[in-house]
Amino acid sequence: MKSVSADRLVKIYRKGQVKALDNLSLDVEEGTVLSVLGPNGAGKTTVVRILATLLKPDSGLATVCGIDVIKNPEKVRELIGLSGQYAAVDETLTGWDNLVMFGRLYHLGKQASIKRAEDLLERFSLTDSARRPIKTYSGGMRRRLDLAASLIVQPKVLFLDEPTTGLDPRGRQEMWGVIEELVKGGVTLLLTTQYLEEADQLADEIAVIDHGRVIARGTSDALKKQVGGERLEVTVEAKNIASTIEIVSRVSGNKAALDETLRHISAAVSNGSQSLMEVLRNLDSAGIHPLDIGLKRPSLDDVFMSLTGHAAEEVKSE
């Protein structure tokens, strides 16, 4: 069953006539994680805002757990949790204050709100800082508290809009840990990110979007295959470049590419490790000692590059 479905969404921002969404369609199977991957301005936040009932599309349909987000936003709000790009909590209040307040707004009752707040603080390792104002928190702690606020009532579907943007590597690792725990708990998750490794790490499926359209969709592995299989890469000293190109081209059966500044020779190969050994043997008998040699699977950066013909560049307005 599809927990989230967006069908041909169009959204044009009046100011500047920016087409934020251009017939965008996507869906998330129940209990799975879909990562919406794209550069700034690709339309990620706009999709999330529409699905979370904050924004109305100009046309198209969207449902969460089968409920129309445009016709029945109140019902949808009872089923979702949203954690945005910025930590949307009251910074002057303490972590405890915030969670209790949100609990009460979900009509949990006073005691239940306090209980829930304390459970969540514990679960996200924030108990020690519970009584401090949020503005004294680190970036990672804020995000965790924000995430906790979206979990007050166990949501059926969770939307995380760039949950780790702006975090340092440690904060990001911690956030990933927390998200992975949630996913194990069975929540359906739609996560947007501009970090390719984040999508790779967390998602079952990835939808690559650019200029308001889904340009590719599939598992991380499938996307990588779409770009081409493995590549063999060799780095050699300058005097050996010509003969190495000859060897790599012959073994792989493909034309080897050369990066002159890095003295880096590469070619697509069909049966990776066998080709690797073959190239090594040939280099050895030619008396060439490679500085570096290996097989490389394409990164999601490569995926983006080959899908759009441009790097994951930023578009001005979002």
Partner 1 sequence: MKNAIFDSLIITKRQILQLARVPEVLIFSIIQPVMFVLLFRFVFGGSIASDQPGGYVQLLMPGIFVQTTAFTLAATASGLAEDMKKGLIDRFRSLPISRSALVVGRTLGDSLLNVLVLAVMGLAGYLVGWRPTSGILKISLGFLLLLLFSYALSWTGIFVGLSARDARVVQNVSFIITFPLTFLSNAFAPTTGMPRPLQYIAEWNPVSSMVAACRSLFGLENRFGATANSFPSQHPLAMSLIYMVLIMVIFVPLSVRKYKNSSN
Stretch of 45-53, 63-71, 176-184, 205-213 contacting partner 1, by CB under 8 A: 45-53
Rounded CA separation 117/97 (Å): 9
**Interacting residues with partner 1 between 52 and 111 (CB under 8 A):** 52-56, 74, 77-78, 80, 82, 84-94, 97, 101-102, 104-107
Rounded CA separation 34/214 (Å): 13
Rounded CA separation 142/88 (Å): 9
Q: Which is nearer to partner 1, 38 or 103 (CB)?
A: 103
What are the C-alpha distances in Å from 124 to residues 94, 104, 159, 250? 15, 20, 18, 55
Per-residue contact flags (x/-) with partner 1 for residues 121 to 140, judged by CB under 8 A? ------------x-------
Least separation, in Å, of the C-beta of 101 and partner 1? Answer: 6
Stretch of 49-57, 177-185, 272-280, 294-302 contacting partner 1, by CB under 8 A: 49-57
Determine the size of the site formed for partner 1 (CB under 8 A).
31
Q: How many CB atoms lie within 10 A of CB 145?
A: 25
Q: Which is nearer to partner 1, 9 or 208 (CB)?
A: 9
Fill in the amino acid letter for 231.
R
Least separation, in Å, of the C-beta of 93 and partner 1? Answer: 6
Q: CB-based burial of residue 260 (10 Å sphere; 0-12 exposed, 13-18 middle, 19+ buried)?
A: exposed
SS3 270: coil
CB 113 within 8 A of CB 144: no
29 binds partner 1 per the rule CB under 8 A: no
Contact positions vs partner 1 (CB under 8 A): 49, 52-56, 74, 77-78, 80, 82, 84-94, 97, 101-102, 104-107, 133, 149
